[in-house]
Amino acid sequence: MTKRILSGVQPSGKLHLGNYFGAVKQHIELQHEAECFYFIANYHALTTIQDARLLAENTRDVALDYLALGLDPDKATFYRQSDVPEVAELTWVLSTVTNMGLLERAVSYKEKIEKGIEASVGLFTYPVLMAADILIVRSHFVPVGKDQVQHLEMTADIAGKFNRAYGVVFPEPQPLIPKAEIQAKVPGIDGQKMSKSYGNTIDIFAEGKPLEKTVMSIKTDSTPMGQPLDPDNCNVFALYSLFAAEDEKNALAADYRAGKIGYGHAKKMLKAKIDAHFGPFRDKRRELAQDPVTLEGILQAGAKKARAEAEMTMDLVRKATGLK
């Protein structure tokens, strides 16, 4: 049996280093190991974005980012969520076997409400839509971080409830946990976890003066130049370590402890690493951005492949439930 993997990315803003090291990099590596379905979750984004131009722009940006960073549409099925309307149909069917109590326990829902996001029905039923995304192509594995495991457990619960009621249609998806080094928290410029909601990100495709300004604003302590620094408690060093080889990390750590380097120089070293890593990808992205017809063609071709699977799934669902 071919291992089938699914994951999605919400177009809620520009992708940043936390997205890259936490998800995108892994997605691109996995396309060589399994049958992969990756989608741009624009239905999900409607819970926070109600600006048509912005949503369309963000969706385009995510597509450009993934393709520029190495996603191969001949290896992975890449599509917009809204181009597979069977997802919305399956969401309704799954909602009829989903307990309210299950949704009320969703940690992400509680966190968003605490942050002041309006408690819409869409936000509350978000896990059902997520379950439909996963189950519509009958995927076996979903790459998730530790903070997302609950959503996948909810999907398995919903799939199990449907299967017990109507007969086995869906495999119960399993988490694909990233390697330990990928799970490490990517710090934002303020030291918290890098997140768009905290406004502390370094965009993947930032460059020039804007990138320099962001990197130079990374929060550090007030240790004066010439004094030893602690690499184990430094946001700059943590970010540098994501790009550097082991010998480079060891050398910088030694200079930190010996007081041979200040934070300003370390930040310049980090910017150089970011430029070296993403430079070739920037060129590819600029090239893709000049050809919107090809970009749209890639998304439409991916949607066609995803819909073929989705239609087979919904045929099974309709027969099992008596809708057909």
Q: Cα separation of 273 and 244, whole Å?
A: 7
Main-chain phi, psi angles of 233, to 5 degrees: -130, 45
Question: Among residues 161, 193, 249, 284, which one is catalytic?
Answer: 193
Q: What is the distance between the alpha carbons of residues 243 and 259, in angstroms, rounded to a whole number?
A: 22
The β-bridge relationship of strands 4-9 and 35-40 is parallel
- The answer to whether residue 319 is catalytic is no
Residue 287: Cβ within 10 Å count? 12
Query: What residue type is 52 in one-letter code?
Result: A
Catalytic pick among 196, 267, 271, 273: 196
Q: How far apart are CA 133 and CA 130, in angstroms?
A: 5
Would you list the DSSP string of 181-193?
HHHS--B-TTSSB
Q: How many beta carbons lie within 10 A of that of residue 109, not counting itself?
A: 18
Give the active site residue among 112, 267, 271, 273: 112
What is the C-alpha to C-alpha distance for residues 187 and 238, in angstroms, rounded to an integer?
A: 7
- DSSP letter at 305 equals H
Task: Tell me which residue has tokens 């936490």.
Answer: 22
Any catalytic annotation for residue 193? yes
SS3 201: coil
Residues 6+ away with beta carbon under 8 Å from 298: 63, 67, 73, 78
**Is 268 one of the catalytic residues?**
no
3-state secondary structure of 233: helix
Q: Which residues are catalytic?
A: 112, 193, 196
